[in-house]
Amino acid sequence: MPLRIAHIGAGEWSRYAHGPTLQRLAERSVVSLELICDLQLERARQFSDLFHYHRASDNIHQMLAEVRPDAIVCTVQPSATAELVRSMLPLQIPLFIEKPPGVSLVEATSLATASVATGTFVAFNRRSIP
C-alpha cells in the first residue's frame, strides 16, 4: 500500500526537485500524492496538474484534517518553516522538511524540542548543511 503524502509548498524549488521526485515514486506506487497545499491556490492547482496530485488547496490545516496523510513533505521558505512545522506537530504525522529547520539556531532548537515533546518525527533534507 503506498504511503499517502501531503505536500506543502508549490514554489520553484518544489517544482524543480520535490515534485518530479515524488511523481516518480507515485508512478512506482511507493507513494500516493494526496494533497498539495500552497498559500497561492492557483499555484497549488497548477502544481497538482503538473505532478498529478489528487487535491490542491490553500487551506493547510483543514485539508490535513480531511486527508489525514501518512507523511507530510514541507518545502516552504525557510522563514516560514519553523512556525508552520510547529503548528503541524500536534497532528503527530511524520514530516520531511527542506533545510534549514529554522532561520536561526534558536528556531531550529525550539523546533527540535517541540518535535520531541509531541513525539512527532521530523527529518530534513541534508544534502549540504554547514
User: Is 88 inside any structural domain?
Assistant: yes
User: Is 130 inside any structural domain?
Assistant: no
User: Is 87 inside any structural domain?
Assistant: yes
Query: Tell me, what's the pLDDT at 49?
Result: 98
Starting at the earlier edge strand, list the strands of the sheet with 3-8: 55-57, 31-37, 3-8, 71-74, 95-97, 122-124
The CATH number linked to 95 is 3.40.50.720
What is the mean pLDDT for each group of 10 consecutive residues in the chain (130 residues)?
96 92 96 97 98 97 95 92 92 88 87 88 62
Structural domain span for residue 57: 3-124
User: Is 81 inside any structural domain?
Assistant: yes
User: Is 17 inside any structural domain?
Assistant: yes
In the chain, what is the straight-line distance between the N-terminal and C-terminal CA atoms, in Å? 37
- Site of grid cell 507523511: 71
User: Is 129 inside any structural domain?
Assistant: no
Q: Report how many domains make up the chain.
A: 1
User: Is 106 inside any structural domain?
Assistant: yes
**How many Å apart are CA 7 and CA 76, to the nearest integer?**
10
CA separation (Å) from 91 to 3, 34, 57, 65, 98? 17, 17, 18, 9, 19
Query: Tell me, what's the pLDDT at 15?
Result: 94
Query: Tell me, what's the pLDDT at 127?
Result: 56
User: Is 114 inside any structural domain?
Assistant: yes
